[in-house]
Amino acid sequence: MSHEHTHAAVIGGGSWGTALAHLMAIAGVKVKLWMRSDERVAEINTSHTNSRYLRDRPIHPGVEATTDLRSTASFAETLIVAIPSSEFRSVAFEIGGCVSGDQILVSATKGFEAEHLTRMSQILREETCCRKVGAISGPNLADEVMDHHPTATVVASPMEEVVEKVGLLLAGPTLRVYGNHDLVGVEVMGALKNIVAIAAGVCAGMGYGQNSLALLLTRGLSEISRFGEALGADRMTALGLAGLGDLIATCASPLSRNNSLGRKLAAGMTLADAQADTVKVAEGVNTTYAANKHASRLGVDMPITRAVNAILFEGHKPAEMLVKLMARANRYEHNDVPIDAPRSVEGSVIDTALSVAARNRGW
Amino acid sequence: MQNALRDAAIVEVRSRVLEACLMQSQLPDGMPLDVLVNDTLYHERKRLEVDRKSTTWAEDLSFWDTIKNRLGRASDNEIKDILKSVLERFTEEIRGNFNPVLYNIATRVLPRALPMLLNAMSPKRLLQRGLPDISDTVRIQGNIQAIKRMNELGTVILTPTHVSNLDSPVIGWAIYAMGLPAFTYGAGLNLFSNPVMSLFMRNLGAYRVDRNKTAPLYKDVLKEYATVSLELGQPNLFFPAGTRVRSGKVEQRLKLGLLSSGLRAYVNNLLKKKDKPNLYIVPCTLNYHLVLEAETLIEDYLQREGKARYIILDDESTRARKILNFTQNLVNLEARITVHIGDPIDPFGNQVDPQTGASIDRHGREIDIQRYVTDRQGVPVHLPQRDRVYTAEAGESIAREFLKHNVIVSTQLVAFTLWEMLRHRHRELDMYRLIRTGDEGAGTSANILVERVLRVWQALKARDVKGELHLEEGVVQSGDAAAIVQTALRHFGTYHAKPVLARRGDRVFSEDMKLLFYYSNRLRGYGLEKELESVLKEVS
């Protein structure tokens, strides 16, 4: 499909925003990339690189960087917003002043607003008049995307129009697109997997091998999918590209910023030092705080998140938290009931009598 | 709807649905006409197997038998004719009637005739006992100016909460009392079964909806009727919950079928370049101290939700006695039915400026809503999947407005407080056991109940100040907890077969746990349970 008359914009010139603009330009879409820094705008428009985030990787010359939000917003039919979650709302508010109801707004940020656990697409809804909103998520490490390694992403929206239009903008020889109507699930999984990624980084940093990583990933997936369900997500989404897919990529790759943050913590760095050590924002830090804050309200037990939260914000040592996690009661895999918990008495009268008798004998 | 307008609507509905049937039958994956008619025949015959009480049963059976016979040997053209006669039959049945003279009489007589309309009670007997005047009893409050203004600027869809069969006449009365024209609304056939009620319903602008008819074609005809009437500028009344809410909660899961008519009418209005294309949805809440059908509603809810965990305990009481008690309660206790008119929203769920009628975002910035439905060239288009999402979002906005404009009355506040106290006291019991065993005759100290009611009231007041709900004017608004408990006890003691609560000495006893649960449910959805957990858990 020809995209020569299609106009799109990416709001946010970090590594993932730049990579998305680059992908669309390759497909023939006219793309504007909005960012605040004049210096970086000049660099992208003249030398076609974004050295701060993507080192010397060449960016397609069709990408036009700009600092003018109003002209960017009115230029594009579709806007992809890739701004760190902490600044997402203020930028969305600015976007809200320049868009109309026919435009499509899609979030490419994986995170929550901690106070009310607000998802990024909800912020787009709240701060703008746009209703054609969605999210992009999946195993998409920006560096690998820029290097054209084959991968896939999920475009999620309750509206088919959004899935179709955004899907066609992004799909190319190295990127497959899958659609999903479960916007809640895709966003929640994309955000929460960063918690597990930090834990995986800690685990690797402590020198543990694949068994430990597999344990962490599986139980991590289990707790984040329970959390997702409590928020209304579809359990199947947790097993898709935006859930398991992204989890594998982030936990296995040292390129992941959350993973590398975990490694630094394991090496004894404080959170402040680890964050100061990189220019990229590790969204998992904010997400851990948000998820931990809301887990009990939602009635979801999240031991790994609690442990990561304790390491990040309460000054606990990784080794200490690991001992705690391993000392937890052994449980049934699917319902989390401790294997030595007293059984509830059920069944026929005779079954009940026998069970009670056995219990009285110490069984 | 005026008769001329209604006839025009009927003609338009038939031609639109017929055209749509023909068009889709041409599509490769469309439903051929004979399959469509057969499918409708199948649904109707299946209905007739069980729906034997229907007043038109014999007539319907013979109609569908004829259709069946004709179908067997019909050519393509004849099938089209058969489809036409099916559509004719459906539309004729739906057809309301509007008699301006009768409308005036109805609205004058309605307040006094209301108890009679609840059928089951003979008018003669009721007259002997004396009639209460509902016009003193229905309190209309909220954004009345806005609904009137929206009625001038475009077409209004009023969407009330639904707890009782009393709702339709009460809201019909409220519409009249606010000086608005008669609204069109789809009323269930059961409301037409009583001849007196039927007369009033028809003349208050109601059209007939048969909930037993499950044929998709019938539902399309109904929906299109609502759409066309809106396009003709006729204000409509929808109960978005579909049926009366069983649990007593403020409904949060809404049926969107009829609501989508609003958006479809809006797009059609744009296509026809109408002067006043806008449609405004006005949510409103109805609040009763006591709900006439509370016992049967909560029974139904518990059976459905509880399944085997819930055992029905039958307590017989006559319906006539109930209605008499109910109406006497309205008179003697000056109980009021509160109709609270909410703020208008557009068919996409955005807020609307109550003066200009323009849609606005959360920051008060004006929204050009046409752009939600136009293509790149600015031409409005119907896109069913997109529009379903818009309608779902409008439904979410309505649900939020319901909570926001819910008016808390004394019975609900006291029921909530006591239910939560009992739940904590007996936390080893699940809800169904708690309902069965109650508080085991121990009762609760009246002083402690008053103190806890005050704590709940304080939490409610904080929400009232923030605009998250309303407290009923008078005793509830005053915050005098002792008076609130006393008022609730008086109400609870008057009408239901067993008093919900009774005071003996210095203790308060819950006599009917099901109803206590039912009335407490109106306060769900505000996060009060969690916030007040430590307060309500204290040993009492």
Higher pLDDT, A280 or B203: A280
| Closest by Cα among A62, A96, A71 to A81 | A96
- Domain end residue (candidates: B30, B63, B94): B94
C-alpha B242/C-alpha B186 separation (Å) is: 10
CA of residue B100 relative to chain centroid, distance: 25
A179 contact B CB<8A: no
CA of residue A258 relative to chain centroid, distance: 10
DSSP string, A106-127: EE----EETTTTEEHHHHHHHH
Q: Which of A127, A129, A159 is facing B389, going by the closest CB pair?
A: A159
Higher pLDDT, A338 or B281: B281
C-alpha B68/C-alpha B82 separation (Å) is: 10
- B307 domain-assigned: no
Does residue B231 sit in the same domain as residue B167?
Answer: yes
Does residue B128 sit in the same domain as residue B79?
Answer: no
Give the strand pairing for B359-360 and B138-142: unpaired
Contacts of A294 in chain B (CB under 8 A): none
Does residue B182 sit in the same domain as residue B263?
Answer: yes
Cβ within 8 Å, pair A96-B365: yes
Does residue B26 sit in the same domain as residue B72?
Answer: yes
Structural domain range at position B432: 407-537
Does residue B9 sit in the same domain as residue B126?
Answer: no
- Tell me how many domains chain B contains: 3
- Chain B positions touching chain A (beta carbons under 8 Å): 348, 350, 359, 361-363, 365, 367-372, 374, 376, 383, 385-386, 389-390, 392-393, 530
- B310 domain-assigned: no
Would you state the pLDDT for residue B109?
A: 60
Contacts of B350 in chain A (CB under 8 A): 129
How close A100 comes to chain B (CA, Å)? Answer: 7
> Which parts of chain B have pLDDT scores under 70?
1, 96-136, 190-204, 307-335, 440, 539-540
Cβ within 8 Å, pair A131-B367: no
Question: What's the mean per-residue pLDDT of chain A?
Answer: 92
How close B255 comes to chain A (CA, Å)? Answer: 18
Cβ within 8 Å, pair B369-A101: yes
Does residue B374 sit in the same domain as residue B434?
Answer: no
Within 10 angstroms of residue A142's Cβ, the number of other Cβ atoms is 22
Higher pLDDT, B272 or A256: B272
Does residue B127 sit in the same domain as residue B75?
Answer: no
How close B429 comes to chain A (CA, Å)? Answer: 14
Does residue B110 sit in the same domain as residue B86?
Answer: no
C-alpha B48/C-alpha B51 separation (Å) is: 5
H/E stretch holding A31 reads strand A30-34
Spell A57-76 as b/e; 16+ CB within 10 A means b: bebeebbbbbeebeebbebb
- B298 domain-assigned: no
A90 contact B CB<8A: no
Would you state the pLDDT for residue B127?
A: 45
B138 within 8 A of B100, measured Cβ to Cβ: no
- Surface of A (130-159) touching B: CB under 8 A: 131-132, 158-159
Would you state the pLDDT for residue B169?
A: 77
Cβ within 8 Å, pair A158-B392: yes
Q: Which of A96, A102, A159 is facing B361, going by the closest CB pair?
A: A96
Higher pLDDT, A275 or B21: B21
Q: What is the pLDDT of residues A168-222, one digit of tens each?
A: 999 999 999 999 999 999 999 999 999 999 999 999 999 999 999 999 999 999 9
Would you state the pLDDT for residue B129?
A: 47
- B306 domain-assigned: no
Would you state the pLDDT for residue B166?
A: 78
Contacts of A96 in chain B (CB under 8 A): 361, 363, 365
Output phi, psi for B183, to 5 deg. Answer: -95, 145
Which two tokens mark A85? 């979650």
- Domain end residue (candidates: B385, B402, B419): B402
| Residue in A closest to B379 by C-alpha | A102
> At a CB cut-off of 8 Å and minimum separation 6, what does B49 contact?
none
Does residue B454 sit in the same domain as residue B485?
Answer: yes
Q: Cα Rg for chain A, rounded, in angstroms?
A: 23
Please, what sign has the CA dihedral across residues B209, B215, B217, B219? positive
C-alpha B42/C-alpha B215 separation (Å) is: 8
- B441 domain-assigned: yes
Output phi, psi for B307, to 5 deg. Answer: 45, -120
- B249 domain-assigned: yes
Does residue B90 sit in the same domain as residue B105?
Answer: no
Cβ within 8 Å, pair B385-A102: no
Does residue B444 sit in the same domain as residue B469?
Answer: yes
- Domain end residue (candidates: B367, B384, B402): B402
Output phi, psi for A89, to 5 deg. Answer: -65, -40
| Residue in B closest to A161 by C-alpha | B386
Would you state the pLDDT for residue B102?
A: 62
How close B428 comes to chain A (CA, Å)? Answer: 13
- B304 domain-assigned: no
- B305 domain-assigned: no
How close B369 comes to chain A (CA, Å)? Answer: 7
Please report, for the domain that includes residue B371, its CATH number. 3.40.1130
Q: Cα Rg for chain B, rounded, in angstroms?
A: 25
Count A/B contacts: CB-CB distance under 8 Å: 45
Would you state the pLDDT for residue B442?
A: 80
> At a CB cut-off of 8 Å and minimum separation 6, what does B486 contact?
none
| Residue in A closest to B365 by C-alpha | A97
Would you state the pLDDT for residue B326?
A: 59
Contacts of A93 in chain B (CB under 8 A): 363
Q: What is the pLDDT of residues A25-72, one digit of tens each?
A: 999 999 999 999 999 999 999 999 999 999 999 999 999 999 999 999
User: Rounded to whole angstroms, what are the CA distances from B466 to A59, A89, B105, B251, B469?
Assistant: 50, 23, 42, 21, 8
| Residue in A closest to B394 by C-alpha | A131
H/E stretch holding A131 reads none
**Rounded to the nearest 10 degrees, how much is the dihedral formed by the CA atoms of B215, B217, B218, B221?**
170
Does residue B258 sit in the same domain as residue B274?
Answer: yes
Cβ within 8 Å, pair A100-B368: yes
